[in-house]
Structure 1
């Protein structure tokens, strides 16, 4: 297979021939089992499939670092990168029609589509880019020097999503279904904010030891969990279109201020309008951005804090339940009781008598 030498930067050198003489990324993953030169490879052989992981160290005049590659199926792969560059790297990448879930852990990636009317897409730390680049379409990708570049990308075909989620496109918003559906032919970008639970899963997968066969089993489990989280985010947007939003760096800073404000004042919490005025965002952006960034609505986040405080007061004090309700900002004890039971499926008085009842109630649900 002919090797291409288009770029000095390591992640795209993986695509362009440094492992196994492959030209395209699909080819790189297809030849993983053939002991590509310079890579440490592990395999997990199953009756109907073989999982493969490879770890490859880079050290050249322009870049240093590490790439990890995992092949879970013929249509589902993972690429982890941890690299640094001596100079800005500008690399052409040819589309292979993957659905890509690109998680940016550090550094900035800028994408320059070679098509009129499509602006540059910047992917910063803490962002998820859901991306589909049709066959043969070029995109220039730029990575900045003097800043560690860490990322994880899941590459999959529509067939992989169909295998795990059935007719997944039917549950997505119309514009997203068009971009990610099996019949899609166009370029698709959607930047989303990663909330903490999702980032924890991504970081665990990114740091996993994939040169051990048991590590490949863990990698498979983590990929499934991440796919469930991402698909859930997209499905939620079907019912609430504001859940699907684009967040600037300024938006993220403002939303973190909103979270800090709620943490300091949740008995009772401020209203949406009060929070929006305090942080300088519209109520619409506050509601959609907060859910995208933290995985919960503003009201759900505030209520969880309130109920956790209720647990602490009931468990660690003998304060009458009526006063507990007042301390939490409820005008009536009955309102607090209803809210507590809705949250935990037990009554406050029963929890106070036996805190272990909460674990039994949770398992019963």
Structure 2
């Protein structure tokens, strides 16, 4: 399949089979009708999960994970936008990439950032992603009317700076990057780990995407409303260094280097790191690292055959009691309550 893909076509099992190179699960196993498609495949040693769901004709979502990216077309493909405008919420928990958008420009999509993009009707997109990293991506596609309907807001309540999200037709593409919060990451992980089937699965997945669209929209509102003097002026080079810091701190569970050490490691001054990190991620470096460890713990607790003690030690806690207190403060439940859930 070398032609540009229209994502709405992927609900056709034959098209999905050609696109992914694997057989989707039959209707009735995960979803009860053709508005949901689930794939649980293995390409050699690489597992791959893809959940494709249509909530309405103007609202669809894709969630996928692979280690590393096993499907070549996810790494590089062309997409055609049809006769209507679409809004794309792209959350990258693993791997980064970029989009070459016709009549617009190249838009970078770093890992651990949520990108909101508005595509006018007829847009062509050349999409490229890294394929040598663990793939963990969620995409929500909405027409403007669907976005307003899901958020239960009128166009008049949308901030002027975000009016491009609400208009029914636009002549040019627009994009905005917002921090990928821990709340967003947890919602995506809940989708990927969902074991429900049929109507119950659809209801659960819908609730998680509703949580995502509300959280992302509020993050965008907060970002454009932030007083100008409080926003750190970051060059592209500085932004890349701060994104590198996020990668460094999330690669280690046992300890986090000092802020001064992290700043020296990537070549940025400490003050710019502190203020810039908060501007991009909406939290401090230390809080981001703490929440990342607890998020990983939450994922591990859902796995069979691993104890709370093992989880605590694997994410860098030397004492189970300290881990239990931190986990309970974060999620409101004891770690043992999440075992196998």
TM superposition score category, shorter chain reference: 0.5 to 0.7
Contact persistence 1:112–1:121 (CA under 8 A) = yes
2:242 is the counterpart of 1:251? yes
* Cα shift readout 1:314-364 (whole Å, capped 9, x = no counterpart): xxxxxxxxxxxxxxxxxxxxxxxxxxxxxxxxxxxxxxxxxxxxx9xxxxx
Residue pair 2:144, 2:165 contacting (<8 A) in 1 also: no
Counterpart Cα distance in 2 of 1:188 and 1:66: 30
2:3 is aligned with 1:6: yes
Structure 2: segments with no counterpart, 5+ residues = 289-331, 333-341
Shift of 1:153: 0.5
Q: Is structure 2 residue 71 aligned with structure 1 residue 98?
A: no
Highest relative contact order (Cα 8 Å, sep 6+), 1 or 2?
A: 2
Q: Deviations over 1:263-317 (max 9, x none)?
A: 999xxxx9xxxx9999835867744641541x4479xx79xxxxxxxxxxxxxxx
The correspondence for 1:74, drawn from 57, 78, 83, is: 57
Once the two structures are TM-superposed, the CA of residue 166 in structure 1 deviates from its matched residue by: 3.8
Given candidates 98, 113, 130, the residue that maps to 1:127 is 113
Question: Cα RMSD between the aligned structures?
Answer: 4.7
Q: Does the C-alpha gap of structure 1 residues 182 and 285 become closer, same or farther in structure 2, counting only changes over 3 Å?
A: farther
**CA offsets 1:128-152 (integer angstroms, 9 cap, x no match):** 1111211111111123344443311
Structure 1: stretches of 5+ with no match in the other structure: 29-36, 303-358, 360-365
Q: Secondary structure at the match of 1:163?
A: helix
Is the 1:39–1:55 Cα contact (8 Å) retained in structure 2? yes
* TM-score of the aligned structures, taking structure 2 as reference length: 0.60
Larger Rg: 1
**Partner of 1:84: helix, strand, or coil?**
coil
CA separation of 1:19/1:64 partners in 2, compared to 1, >3 Å: closer, same or farther? farther
> Structure 1, residues 60-108: CA drift from partner, whole Å, max 9, x if none?
89x9733211122232221112341469943221124221111112222
Distance in 1 (CA, whole Å) between partners of 2:24 and 2:106 is 34
Residues 268-283 of structure 1 mapped to structure 2, 5 A cutoff:
280=268
Q: 1:216: how far off?
A: 1.6
Q: How many residues align?
A: 267
Match of 1:190 in 2: 176
Deviations 1:117-170 (A, max 9, x none): x44223232121111211111111123344443311111122222223344554
Residue number among 239, 249, 254 corresponding to 2:225 in the alignment: 239
